[in-house]
Amino acid sequence: MKRLVEIVAFGMLLLTMEAVHAMPIGVRTLLHAHAVARQLPEVQQQSWTVILDADNGKSVSVPQTWIAEHENLVRNNGGNVSTALRATAANGRLSVVECYVIGLDPESTTNDFKITFFPMKADGTPDLENIVFDPPEARWNVEGARPVVKGAASLGGEWQAVTEENKAGFRFFKVEVVLP
């Protein structure tokens, strides 16, 4: 009876089982782990869902890889990821999950969402199409999220969405990020 020789593929190197068994246990373990990892189907990335607006059912899924980049936040919140995502970011104005949505570092005290250019037209009304934000929308992490300019006629007045038709009636402006 012929003896079958098993072959393990490792990159471009082909090894017989005898060669594998002659290796130190650490190298064998590495080879086995690599072979198993290559055979497993791609596992979907784990994410955490945070509800931002319960009335409208708006939520955000934050990938585990992003959370891992900010492990100090989780550690500082007792190891609870959900609590960490709802915590106030280091800038003191946004939550950690809001920082994720718009592409900010939640551990930076100087990062903030801001308007860097708010152009006005000749008639004194804002040029809504040419407002520049920092970070720009291209850096945002949630597809479909969009900035909405809101205005108020006076301090303490009611904030309303600014449109081409009503923009002349406002003296104060702010921006909110709306989720899809």
What is the per-residue DSSP string for 53-72? ETTTTEEEEEEHHHHHHTHH
Task: Specify the pLDDT at position 177.
Answer: 87
| CB 49, CB 26: distance < 8 Å | no
**Backbone Cα Rg of the chain:** 26
Neighbours of 137 (CB within 10 A): 13
Instruction: Tell whether the model's pLDDT for residue 4 goes beyond 90.
Output: no
Task: Specify the pLDDT at position 106.
Answer: 94
* SS3 assignment, position 125: coil
Q: What is the pTM of this model?
A: 0.65
Instruction: Tell whether the model's pLDDT for residue 78 goes beyond 70.
Output: yes
Any idea how long the chain is?
180
> Who wins on pLDDT, 36 or 130?
130
Instruction: Tell whether the model's pLDDT for residue 158 goes beyond 90.
Output: yes
**How, if at all, do strands 7-10 and 13-16 pair?**
antiparallel
| CB 89, CB 96: distance < 8 Å | yes
Instruction: Tell whether the model's pLDDT for residue 169 goes beyond 50.
Output: yes
Tens of pLDDT, residues 94-143? 899 999 999 999 999 998 888 899 898 898 888 888 989 899 988 999 98
| CB 70, CB 107: distance < 8 Å | yes
Task: Specify the pLDDT at position 125.
Answer: 82
What is the rounded average pLDDT for all residues in the chain? 77
Count the alpha carbons within 13 Å of 80 in the hemisphere toward its beta carbon.
Answer: 7
Report residue 38 as tokens: 């290559």
> Which residues are CB-contacts of 56 (< 8 A; sequence separation ≥ 6)?
none
Instruction: Tell whether the model's pLDDT for residue 62 goes beyond 50.
Output: yes
